[in-house]
Chains A and B, each alone.
Chain A
Amino acid sequence: MSARSISFTLNGQLVSTTIEPHRNLVELLQRFDLFGARESCGQGLCGCCTVLVDGQAVSGCLYFAVWADGKSVTTVEHLDADGALSNVQEAFIACGAFQCGFCTPGFVLMTHQLLKHNPDPSDEDIRHYLSGNLCRCAAYPEIVAAVKQAAKAAGTTAGISAGQ
């Protein structure tokens, strides 16, 4: 199959490449040495390959690479691009919300998206929103705690800036 030229924004930088139409977004990211999105189940069920496209979470294993043309793609590696971990990443560490860490980037990105839409989620909201991400080590109770802690930290930050 013949390759197509695509251009897209990757973690804030405009990039171009050529890629065959059967390759998925995870393979595309690997070409840019980004391995945080990982193909695991290959069916869009586990969430290990979660990537944000135009701010919306997609399963990288089911998303054709050519669809990224003209779009803005954000991966987990972007969250600490300035050297500091995000609130969510800090909370995941503090709460011990992972074991092997293979699924963790997906959970972290989904948590960012959740908190953007719902800054103060209940346990039930969290479980519902993250139901598309699986963790075989089953760090689920710690993940719920981490999301709540991240929400609280974000709320505190927002409160301070509002107060200024």
Chain B
Amino acid sequence: MKQIGRELPRLEARAKVSGRAEYTHNLRLPGMLYGKVTRSTVPHGVIRRIDTTAARALPGVHRVVTGEDIRKLIPEPYYGPAFHDQPILAFDKVRYVGEPVAAVLASDPHVAEHAAQLITAEYDELPAVYDELAAMQPDTLVHEVLRPAGTFADLKHLQGRKGTNVALDYHLRRGDADKAFANAHRVFEHTFKTQQCLHLPFEPHVAVAEPGDERLTIYSSNQTPSFVRIEIARLFGWPENRVRVKVPYLGGGYGSKVYVKLEALVAALAMLVRRPVKIALTMEEQFYMITKHPTTFRIKSGVDKDGRIIARACEVYWNGGAYADIGPRVTQKSGFTAAGPYDIENVSIDSYALYTNRTPAGALRGFGVPQLVWGYESHTDLIARELGMDPVAFRRKNLLRNGRPQASGTVLRDAAVGEVLDALVARIGWNAPFNRGSPTLRRGRGIAIGLKASISPTTSVAMVNVSADGSVYLYKSTVDMGQGGDTAFAQIVGEVLDVKAEDVRVVAPDTDVTPYDMGTLGSRSLYHMGNAVRLAAEDARAKLRALAAEAGLPEGTNYPPAEIFRKRYGMQAGNVIGTGSFVPSYKPPDPQTGQSDNVTPFWMVGGAAAEVEVDTETGHVRVLRLINAADCGKLINPAVARTQLSGAAIMQLGFTLSEAMQLDGGQVTNASLADYKIPGIGDVPPMENELVAAEQHSGPFGAKGLGETGTFGVSPAIANAVHDAVDVRITELPITAEAVLRALRAKAGRPLEDE
């Protein structure tokens, strides 16, 4: 039976609907202590004194730990994927409100929480910087010295750089943009901004560390078990095999649970007290863990007389908060697509990762690309309007097609850019007349498409084990956080070994057992791990054939595996282990020009078309229709793929219309679901989702990743539709009723007063 293309429900479906699925959230170990964190109340300051007397005196408190205690265990207690800049607990300076400065351990989490509130810290406050443009000036320095991790070769030149908040500056030069601007018929320049928002998985960050004899087991709700193992081992100066990281199902991730989050803290605490330690964040505390980069994007285009874009210059400023996390990779790996899915001869891109005194920013479902698409698709739409051209016709004229070089110099292949645009145009009926609404409830439509490269080069390793009865196990460290990875990989194994996917036992990530994977992020898993899994299954198949030959079975016959094992070993015994590892080829971009002819193994293409109704009296935007289209190559599981596209689009709808972290003096003032509005069931507009016919020839059975693609086009499609409806342009997310009303009133010459 064919397994690829089956609309199979998720393998873990029964466990999830019955409430019995395993999450780290549920885990309790004998003798376990609960940790609660005391957090900085100031955005930037030197720690003068931490008074833990009252906390230590509270009955039931087992131990109070500060940064100085951590340093006795780990002299250089800094972690981070791109920079070793984040202390396990702050000990010299604090750099944002909410930064952990102490931890309390108790058998009862309520006691730990109470004690954590009894700890007081005194600071000599320093000036703080919150805005990414302000952070370009070295007036206020978040870090005195930059500490690149050395994980990524192209960051090593930053070692020890001082006197700046710029963690990484990335530059791309293609052609001669300045010259082309001088020759352009028209030049357009705009600035777009995005807000700080966050992932908010419903299983908030949680980790448990269980100490052993010079070793540790960490159970964590984390997307990157292999990385956590390496990073924790590095902190303790151990070999990798002394740290075991186990990850059950995740109650959501969306990029928030990549790299080290709580793991270093629980590991250090467990080693200090020699007992298992669990820290589970509250929903509120997630606002002090990791967020999505606010950005400022200055974009300028030169157009010739025929409506061809001949030059584009992009300056992107990424507000990375107090610690770099994966921000420098976002800056570079997404930065090079800042000119969009257009065929432009002359491009310059300057992309800056900046430290500020905010909660750190990382990757949120799109690795920076949604912020870029917001800018370049709003800008592209504005140009079309200024030129008096139909926005779709203008895009078609400039679209990047397969076989043509992208701004990085890498030729576009297997990217269904035109097909995605065509699907949107057809579904929304772009060329047909539509109801324009009434004078007070005006309707408009907008379209937007985006392009993303896969983070590269990254490695995945898989292992397929065929037991003596023919039943099959798959071992891999890709995490199933709801995207359906386990099911897709089981389908790949099933296809190769001719077994039903639901009969493949997928072993949960456990670094003592499951082989290396770079991480479940950036929509990389189906492509990278999918290829590794396919290779592992093919290897197992080849070994089964070899075993059959050893057993003296005639070649070319199709004996069931159980029979081969029995024949070879005389009983139900033995097993066959197939392995597969996959890392795509890659050429690093030239550091001066950003040029490389092999910068990504595959491209993701996604877009949205929206029809909206704007209330001109209140500014309220109602989305009447939302159409999402994407290229994910050939479909392994169409049912799961459609829900990924739909879920990503609805999530992005929240970032488009309502979600924004509010800051007052560096303090987040809306850190709860009551004050930070995420989409509910009543906020979902009528939606259509289309996965266009496509194939990724280098992908497993023609497939590629999809987890992020649904986010790309939503925000600019809605802004473009609002413009179409009421002739005002919103340049900053989110598109709230207030923002639209302010724009309408400003346009009418009756601006609303500022608060």
Q: How far is the CA of A76 from the CA of B19 in the complex (A)?
A: 6
Given the contacts A100-B252, A136-B202, A141 and B482 also touching, CB distance less than 8 Å: no
> Which residues on the B side are within 8 Å of A36 (C-beta)?
18-20
* Among A42, A75, A77, A136, contact of B678 (Cβ-Cβ < 8 Å): A136
* Among B14, B201, B204, B678, contact of A100 (Cβ-Cβ < 8 Å): B201
| Chain A residues with a Cβ closer than 8 Å to the other chain, count | 52
Q: How far is the CA of A72 from the CA of B679 in the complex (A)?
A: 33
Are the CB atoms of B640 and A96 closer together than 8 Å? yes
Are the CB atoms of A99 and B482 closer together than 8 Å? yes
One of A2-10, A62-70, A123-131, A153-161 at the interface: A123-131
Are the CB atoms of A40 and B647 closer together than 8 Å? no
* Most chain B Cβ neighbours within 10 Å, of A35, A36, A37, A79: A35
The A-contacting residues of B in range 245-272, CB under 8 angstroms, are 249-254
Are the CB atoms of A142 and B643 closer together than 8 Å? yes
Q: Taking the complex as formed, is A19 at the interface, i.e. its CB lies under 8 A from any CB of chain B? A: no
Q: Taking the complex as formed, is A80 at the interface, i.e. its CB lies under 8 A from any CB of chain B? A: yes
Q: Taking the complex as formed, is A28 at the interface, i.e. its CB lies under 8 A from any CB of chain B? A: no
Q: How far is the CA of A141 from the CA of B110 in the complex (A)?
A: 38
* Most chain A Cβ neighbours within 10 Å, of B9, B16, B20, B684: B16
Are the CB atoms of B681 and A133 closer together than 8 Å? yes
Q: Taking the complex as formed, is B187 at the interface, i.e. its CB lies under 8 A from any CB of chain A? A: no
Given the contacts A101-B482, A102-B23, A45 and B673 also touching, CB distance less than 8 Å: yes
* Among A38, A103, A134, A141, contact of B687 (Cβ-Cβ < 8 Å): A141
* Most chain A Cβ neighbours within 10 Å, of B203, B481, B640: B203
Nearest-neighbor residue (CB-CB) of A22 within chain B: B110
Are the CB atoms of B203 and A100 closer together than 8 Å? yes
Q: How far is the CA of A38 from the CA of B251 in the complex (A)?
A: 10
Q: How far is the CA of A92 from the CA of B482 in the complex (A)?
A: 14
Are the CB atoms of B673 and A92 closer together than 8 Å? no
Are the CB atoms of B202 and A43 closer together than 8 Å? no
Given the contacts A102-B252, A133-B681, A35 and B202 also touching, CB distance less than 8 Å: no
Are the CB atoms of A48 and B643 closer together than 8 Å? no
Are the CB atoms of B20 and A134 closer together than 8 Å? no
What is the interface of chain A, defined by CB distance below 8 A to chain B? 22-23, 30, 34-38, 40-43, 45-46, 48, 75-77, 79-80, 85, 89, 92-94, 96, 98-105, 108, 126-128, 130-131, 133-144
The 10 closest A-B pairs by CB, nearest first: A36-B19, A101-B16, A100-B482, A102-B251, A99-B482, A138-B650, A76-B19, A105-B19, A35-B26, A89-B17
What is the interface of chain B, defined by CB distance below 8 A to chain A? 9-10, 12-21, 23, 25-26, 28, 110, 199-204, 249-254, 282-284, 481-484, 639-640, 643-644, 646-647, 650-651, 672-674, 678-682, 684, 687
A-B contact pairs, 15 of them (CB 8 A): A35-B19, A38-B23, A45-B673, A85-B17, A85-B18, A93-B14, A96-B639, A99-B484, A101-B16, A102-B203, A133-B681, A134-B678, A140-B650, A140-B680, A141-B684
